[in-house]
């Protein structure tokens, strides 16, 4: 049976990723930025499908505010930053703790420390923004071990095992998405830190909240934990500096809505948390992971209207 273009693309991407993982430890840090520029440009040129997704997302988000040229500039920077983040992640086993500390700065760490002193744990809400993987390693080195993170499996099992092994090397405990809430409640009751990226399409299981003026299915895990526990909800987003270092911008705790209506609270708090991500993307649009189909799932009432038409 002949393979489709998408299947060939996935096979090639998987092969390149595993090859890079095998030899990334040989790369000196100074070689990463120029190599990322080349890899980013190649991926943008070769992968037509992902380029359409990236540009479509950018037009959905900024089409009324920015020109097509400005959107393409953002796209090129995104591809470069994405490639750089991937190289940094794959190279982590060969990266010393001293280098991670020197190149990843924590700003606002006292918010986490003050919350942990109260003894109810911390939920860090974040996004696929900057290099979230190395910043998680930096948090673990700051003493938040084990740093618990919820992660979904990749389509390819070998790729999933590679990513999770790199995360475990960085001091993370990976919690599978299925059944994650119960495990996270246990970890928070033990006064631990749980990290959740809240910025990807959650399909039919998500709640629909506004993201750049369009409803987007969003994982409600952080909002559910805000209802079930007394954990502090603290945002952290990673911003790259021109010198190549990165700042983990840790914000003050977000006060969640708590009423007698659980469902309403979950939706309202998910919207509040999502707005934090939106504001970060507006500040640094080239930092966010535009290759994901964020608005793919549609709410039932939209599907019902489409069916009537």
Per-residue model confidence (pLDDT) at position 156:
77
Average pLDDT over residues 75-102: 96
Tell me if 217 sits within 8 A of 201, measured CB to CB: yes
Instruction: Name residues whose C-beta falls within 8 Å of residue 189's C-beta, 6 or more positions apart in sequence.
Output: 120, 121, 229
Task: Give tens-digit pLDDT for 144-173.
Answer: 988 999 988 887 788 889 999 999 999 999
Tell me if 63 sits within 8 A of 213, measured CB to CB: no
Task: Give tens-digit pLDDT for 222-265.
Answer: 999 999 999 999 999 999 999 989 999 999 999 999 999 999 99
Average pLDDT over residues 104-108: 98
Per-residue model confidence (pLDDT) at position 308:
56
Average pLDDT over residues 215-226: 97
Closest to 236 measured CA to CA, from 164, 97, 99, 142: 142
Helical ranges in 210-299 per DSSP H? 221-228, 262-283
Instruction: Name residues whose C-beta falls within 8 Å of residue 177's C-beta, 6 or more positions apart in sequence.
Output: 150, 151, 152, 153
16-20, 41-45, 47-51, 169-173: least confidently modelled range: 16-20
Over pLDDT 90: what percentage of the chain? 79
Q: How confident is the model at residue 73 (pLDDT cuts 50, 70, 90)?
A: very high
Tell me if 246 sits within 8 A of 105, measured CB to CB: yes
Per-residue model confidence (pLDDT) at position 304:
62
Residue 220 has pLDDT above 80, yes or no: yes
Residue 2 has pLDDT above 70, yes or no: no
What predicted TM-score, i.e. pTM, was given to this entire model?
Answer: 0.93
Tell me if 129 sits within 8 A of 288, measured CB to CB: yes
How would DSSP label each residue in 79-108?
HHHHHHHHHHHHTGGGS-HHHHHHHEEEES
Per-residue model confidence (pLDDT) at position 100:
96
Per-residue model confidence (pLDDT) at position 145:
87
11-15, 93-97, 147-151: least confidently modelled range: 11-15
19-23, 229-233, 258-262, 275-279: least confidently modelled range: 19-23
For 46-57, give one letter per residue: b (16+ CB within 10 A) or e: ebeebbebbbeb
């Amino acid at each position: 049976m002949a393979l489709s273009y998408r299947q060939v693309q996935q096979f090639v991407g998987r092969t390149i990723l595993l090859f890079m993982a095998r030899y990334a430890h040989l790369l000196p840090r100074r070689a990463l930025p120029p190599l990322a520029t080349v890899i980013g440009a190649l991926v943008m040129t070769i992968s037509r499908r992902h380029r359409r997704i990236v540009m479509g997302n950018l037009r959905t988000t900024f089409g009324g505010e920015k020109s097509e040229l400005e959107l393409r500039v953002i796209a090129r920077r995104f591809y470069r930053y994405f490639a750089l983040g991937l190289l940094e992640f794959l190279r982590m086993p060969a990266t010393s703790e001293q280098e991670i500390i020197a190149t990843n700065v924590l700003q606002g760490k006292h918010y986490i420390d003050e919350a942990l002193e109260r003894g109810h744990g911390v939920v860090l809400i974040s996004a696929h923004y900057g290099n979230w993987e190395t910043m998680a390693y930096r948090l673990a080195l700051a003493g938040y071990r084990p740093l618990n993170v919820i992660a979904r499996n990749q389509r390819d099992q070998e790729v999933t095992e590679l990513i999770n092994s790199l995360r475990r090397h960085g001091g993370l405990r990976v919690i599978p998405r299925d059944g994650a809430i119960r495990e996270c409640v246990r970890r928070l009751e033990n006064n631990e830190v749980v990290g959740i990226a809240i910025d990807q399409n959650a399909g039919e299981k998500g709640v629909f909240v506004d993201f750049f003026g369009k409803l987007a299915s969003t994982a409600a895990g952080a909002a559910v934990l805000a209802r079930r526990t007394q954990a502090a909800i603290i945002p952290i987003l990673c911003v790259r500096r021109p010198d190549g270092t990165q700042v983990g911008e840790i914000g003050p705790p977000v006060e969640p809505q708590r009423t007698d209506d659980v469902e309403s609270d979950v939706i309202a708090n998910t919207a509040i948390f999502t707005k934090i991500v939106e504001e970060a993307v507006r500040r640094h649009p080239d930092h966010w992971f535009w290759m994901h189909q964020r608005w793919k799932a549609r709410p039932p009432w939209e599907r019902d209207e489409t069916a009537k038409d």
